[in-house]
Amino acid sequence: MTSTYSEQKSTGSHYTPPALATFVAKEMLKLWNPPEDTRKINVFDPALGDGELLLAVLKNLQKMDVDLSVSGYETNQSEMLSAKKRIQDQFPKVAIGFHNRDFLAQSAGYFSQPDLFQSRQSEQFDLVISNPPYVRTQVMGARKSQDIARRFGLAGRVDLYYAFIVAIAQYLHPKGILGIIVSNRFMTTKSGETVRARIKEIYDIEHIWDLGDTKLFEAAVLPAVLMLKPKTLGKSKNIAKFTSIYSSDPVKKACNYESPIEALQCSGYAKTKSNGYFRVLKGGLDSGRRPEDIWRITTKESREWLSRVHRNTAATFKDIGKIRVGVKTTADRVFIRSDWDDMPLNKRPELLKDLTTHHVGNPYRSKTPESKILYPHTILEGKRCAVNLASYPKSKAYLEEHRNQLEGRKYVIEAGRKWYEIWVPQDPKAWKKAKIVFRDIAEHPTFWLDLDGTVINGDCYWISCSEKNELTWLALAVGNSSFIECFYDRSFNNKLYAGRRRFMTQYVEQFPLPRIDSAPAIQLIKMSKQIFLDKKTELIHTVDELVWKAFGFSDKEI
């Protein structure tokens, strides 16, 4: 079944490829231990779609001499009827109970009960399999997101599938199993904190597959598969398994497989017929000690590697200063342009400032900004506020030309802001200070120092710093090194397509810095200054090796 991109975005409908549905069904049944006296198996999908997941389960259960029934919810009636027909045609003896209703609307309020182990009132199922809709806060709207968070005991920026994960627990038999396909974002983002905590609270985690950039879906979704069982009384003795698969550069020693799904059975490098090369890692789940800790794969090798790094860490990037995202206008075509200088002087706005974007980012020193931003914010009596447009007639005239578009940003008006403000302006007085800037999304880490007082765009992050602080220069050396790539992959392993990494606040603030008085660090600070001030880029390779040595690695290990 297909849908347009706009439909997918608004409804979160990303239909499950048959190969992935088969994989999830088979892995569920490997982990499920049906009671010996089982006479009937009940299967449930709270977000039916085209019924592919239920069909996959039925195909793997058909050899069992038991009665089978399938149930599910689907808000789109035509899809529900289509799924029903598909199952009836292939499995005419299976009992079907589908409902053209919103699963979450049926489930709200359950987890407000004080005792998670008290008797449940909902019908329970042996096997629950689902690919719930993936709708982010930006698409749902803040009000609906907040309502869902309140009803299901969540908090913050809630994606719709968070609520599905929580709500399904009341429908799962105490000895049942849930196989669910979700976006992998929740494992490594700040917005996923509460759902990570809720999962650990109400489920025992059996296995996680991070399917990374395997491009199994038509849309740009990086999926993960979770196998969950209802929480048992007492502490679980299981250590959850974790498998990840991400694209890699071509390697000589790679096993051949038809597809990324088949490659999951290997450990190491795999070559697939149509999807290229992948690296498959197998280990355990490290979910940290605190609810806010990210979830990541851990192996004996990665634990030993990180342990050595931690022994040689004296500070982190968080110690330099607070990490902030750049400005977000939500109307870039109005506020950001590269052709301001083509305007006549009598029409060119007065409030223009140089804007640094990822396009000009380079290690250590950026290129000259290509764009300027009309920046309508200032500091008055120590507080950030919008400028008085009456004092800037040319800026006022320009903004008035675009007033209808700017006033269309209802969320700006509802927040009590003036119609011509940008959505995330940050601190106007901080732009003049020295800043370490880095790209949000990049294949390789890219950190540079800005001493020109530019405004930083929302495709980058920045840290207020001082060029007189030696940690600033040490951070540039570490931030642009191959060492920090390895640290990132072992600590976070959050990649998008084509090997691109996300350099967000919660990751970068944990980047390590060695002892500033160590011999390698002293050399790194000196060379970092030479690369920036004297443009001695020939030193970059030497700096890279020194960073490794500063964290205790030998020439042979480098």
Residue position matching structure tokens 């329970």: 124
Q: What is the DSSP string of 291-344?
A: TTSPPEEE-HHHHHHHHHHHHT--EEGGGT--EEE-BB-S-HHHHEES-GGGS-
Task: Give the single-character DSSP code of 364.
Answer: B
Instruction: Residue 123: give its domain's CATH number.
Output: 3.40.50.150
Q: Is residue 458 part of a domain?
A: no
Q: Is residue 405 part of a domain?
A: no
Tell me if the pTM is above 0.95: no
pLDDT at res. 147 = 82
> What gap in Å lies between CA 57 and CA 180, rounded to an integer?
13
pLDDT at res. 220 = 65
Say if CB 524 and CB 546 are below 8 A apart.
Answer: yes
> What gap in Å lies between CA 310 and CA 7, rounded to an integer?
47
Its domain, for residue 15, covers 5-230
At residue 360, the 3 state secondary structure works out as helix
Task: Give the single-character DSSP code of 549.
Answer: H
Say if CB 369 and CB 332 are below 8 A apart.
Answer: no
pLDDT at res. 135 = 73
Q: Is residue 202 part of a domain?
A: yes
Q: Is residue 87 part of a domain?
A: yes
Of the candidates 370, 17, 28, 442, the residue with the CA atom closest to the CA atom of residue 229: 28
Q: Is residue 264 part of a domain?
A: no
pLDDT at res. 3 = 41
Q: How many domains does the chain have?
A: 1
Q: Is residue 223 part of a domain?
A: yes
Q: Is residue 170 part of a domain?
A: yes
pLDDT at res. 456 = 98
Question: What b/e readout covers 474-508, taking b as 16+ CB neighbours within 10 angstroms?
Answer: bbbbbbbbebbebbbbbbbbbbeeeeebbbbbbbb
pLDDT at res. 145 = 77
pLDDT at res. 275 = 83
Q: Is residue 104 part of a domain?
A: yes
Of the candidates 47, 104, 108, the residue with the CA atom closest to the CA atom of residue 72: 47
Q: Which segments of the chain have a pLDDT < 50?
A: 1-12, 109-120
Amino acid at 314: A
